[in-house]
Structure formats: structure tokens, C-alpha cells
Amino acid sequence: MIEVKNIRKSFGEKEILKDISILFKRGEINLVIGASGSGKSVLTKCIVGLHEVDSGTISYDGREFTAMNFNQRKDIRSEIGMLFQGGALFDSLTVEENVRFPLEMYTKQSKEEMLDRVNFCLKRVNLENVNNLYPAEISGGMQKRVGIARAIALNPKYLFCDEPNSGLDPKTGIVIDNLIYDLTKEFDITTICVTHDMNSVMETGENIVFLHQGQKWWEGDKKSILKTDDEVLCDFVYSSRIMKKFKNL
């Protein structure tokens, strides 16, 4: 689990994160939702240490990350898998080389061990016989799967996903959501997903945190989000006309 306690973050005079406390549970998908500019990216960047917080603490299974120096943080970083928006694969590397990349960075495994692990991860995301293809030669959905295979290559305890469905059709998006869900359960990962996508919320929303103007405005699960009377949250959830009609049925 990852525990964020009373964190604050400002850029200049502007306070972006306003006293946020959240418990991200292990073995569950924890969704962070909110309108553009609400502070989702700044929050996740603080959690992984790309931004320093001004105050408050962040702990990974009881290990206080905010109190650690750069070297101490390396151990925790090696336990984190990241799935970036758009996949962020290296275009000049093959699928196999992309998935092998973190193994080369962080382990001393032999070539054979790395190949075994790469093949295991690719198989786990239902990709076979694509090792030697380049990202440009596979579909967007397949690229996401390669991104997921790379994110789980080091057997992470923590998985961060930034808009995992962006650029995918709704059906492929749900396949990706379900894959992340299954991996979270199978390997008991603390998964944090930043998303705008209400399909994802309804598919995998076990723990949902809604940020509004830098504050934790609401938290709950997918059942309670549909029943909420909170005006700000309703405005986000039922932002499209069709969703508004659905709410009024």
C-alpha cells in the first residue's frame, strides 16, 4: 500500500495540492480522477519523487519515501512499474528490446534469463510472435500491451498507469483495463491509475479518489459514484449529454 499524508505542493504562489491524504490499497486498482488541471499528474509525480512535496509524507508499505535520500529511493524506484500515456515505447527498439530494457537497467540477469522473462511477460499480456517487430508495425492496443509487459518486467510491487486507455477504442480500452485489473490481483500490486475515462471507472473502480482544484473532494467505489449527489462530482461524471439523460432515467 502507498500512504499519502497531508501533502502540499505549490509552484510559486500557486498551491496545486492542498493537504491531500489518501491510502492506496494493495492488490487493488486505485483510480485518481478529476478534471484537467485538478492536480492528478502533480500528485502522481510527487508520489514517485519527480516533484518534491512542500510538506506531508509519502510511505511505501511503511517505508517513508519523503524522508529518503536519492540512493535510498532507488530501491523503491526499482519496485515501481510505469505505464505511460501513449505507451511511450522506444520506436527504434523492437518489442523484445523494449520489454528487456528495464531488466538491463536494473538486473544482472544473463541474456537467457532476460529472454525468458521477456517472453513470460509478453505471453502474460497475450502477445506472442511479435518479439522482432517495431512499435510502428503493431496496433495501438498491442503497443499498450507491450507497455504493460515492460511495466511488469521487474515484477513490480507498485504500478502507475497514466491514462492507460488514451487513444484506444472503448472495447480495446476495456480489454486493457481488465488486463491491468487481472495483473493487479495476480501479483498483489498496489496499482494507481490516473484516468478521465468513465468506462474505466465503471469497469475497474474499486477505490476512486476524485480531485477538484487540488483537493481530495470525494472518495468511494464505482457503485457509490453513480449515486452521488455531490454537484461537483456529478458535473464530472455526467459531463456528456447522454450521461445526463442516463442519470435522469
Q: Measured from the CB atom, is 34 or 164 closer to ligand ATP?
A: 34
Per-residue x/- marks for ligand ATP, 79-108, CB under 6 A? ------------------------------
Q: Segment near ligand ATP (CB under 6 A), from 29-37, 60-68, 221-229, 232-240? A: 29-37
Asked whether 117 and 69 are in contact (CB, 8 A), the reply is: no
Phi then psi for residue 93, to 5 deg, are: -110, 150
CA-based radius of gyration for the chain: 19
39 lies in the site for ligand ATP, by CB under 6 A:
yes
Tell which positions 9-28 bind ligand ATP, by CB under 6 A: 11, 16
| DSSP H or E segment with residue 185 | helix 170-186
Q: What minimum distance in Å lies between the beta carbon of 16 and ligand ATP?
A: 4
Dihedral angle at the C-alpha atoms of 61, 67, 71, 74, nearest 10 degrees? Answer: 30
38 lies in the site for ligand ATP, by CB under 6 A:
yes
d(CA 103, CA 106): 5
| DSSP H or E segment with residue 245 | helix 241-247
Q: What minimum distance in Å lies between the beta carbon of 137 and ligand ATP?
A: 29
Question: How many residues can be counted in the chain?
Answer: 249
CA atoms within 13 A on the CB side of 230: 15
Q: What minimum distance in Å lies between the beta carbon of 83 and ligand ATP?
A: 15
164 lies in the site for ligand ATP, by CB under 6 A:
no
Q: Measured from the CB atom, is 20 or 159 closer to ligand ATP?
A: 20
Q: Which residues bind ligand ATP (CB under 6 A)?
A: 11, 16, 34, 36-42
